[in-house]
Chains A and B, each alone.
Chain A
């Protein structure tokens, strides 16, 4: 908790609280969709506590909710979670110290914490950014999940536009990845294959095909290489 008293911690607290509000909304949409896809409140909450990677969780429940097979839902969710391994490479210098904090910190390696950390240059600021933002975002995500799962079928997510919370958030998140030419190629391939194959393949499978867009990375990018988030 001493990170919250570090010099300059305040700006990370306010940045995290802003993202945290969006996380509560996003978490609620996950909770509602999870219950709609047949999960219990406990299952939705345990998933958010132990999986803690929004895109994977949402992909899993939306594929199952749409009638897709468990195998394709699981495969898509795992592929989406794979990017956290890459983020982990960038974040490993922050995960030093006692075993417990290394194990807990590992769970908090996600898009948003990586984005906040890689935006800093000073090692102390990076450490503060991570250890301040991660517990706030983790709490917000789990609070939102619990509220959404409790509300469950009592609210129709479509009325409040909650069904677009995920794609809207992904739109905000994808922007830094479009700074390089290869990033734009991969995104165009992913977007096109996902829509073009949807009518012909089981739900979830087009997402796996879209992952082949990563092969654009075999060619070096002629433009400036982007940060990992």
Chain B
């Protein structure tokens, strides 16, 4: 693109009327300005979250990450460990459900149904499903699961899995498209059944891309609050059993503490926000690293 743009700029300076040149410059200024406008909220959020959360998170390190949540929420003091563990467990179990199902769904869309009407319909609804608001997913799990089984960590996992499923399906399908057809043909020519070809040739070839897509979905899910509101309940001690008793998560704790009028709770909300951003960022960066290795592999 830059090669094409280069002659245009030299033409403009010589022979373009003032009005046209001004309009062109205004358009460029708009584009560049937009980038800076988008940087403003990002910068402010990061600076404020680090500025307000760092002190509480680091006071008496590593207390904030290892101590239970104080029962008397008005008192200052550390403790968010149950929420950190809850977030990791709930999101982890959601990934355990959504990733295999999503990958298999994508296998159907691309390896079996490719080109068929039915697959197109499924693809369309996977796209539509990825637009379902997370609060609706929360209500859905409440009506179908929580009303019967009660407040459990696994309810949160189910809600998050529903949110992740369409994202995993679509990102995996994009990765399957990148696998060279010759690999499939070679495997089939060797006499492999299609399922063997998929399991031992296609999926391994696409694995880094699939993993990176899955990790982005996990990062999104880890930050979700709305689906957990009516599913997991609230607790101030660590509960490692998703199938028994109420649980808690960082996002939920941020919401609950932010709604509180007490300074100590709000401090904990900021520190939890810092922790959550760090976790989400870690997954996002890991996904990037995996993805960049994949593009190198694909290029060779």
Q: Do A and B come from one complex?
A: no
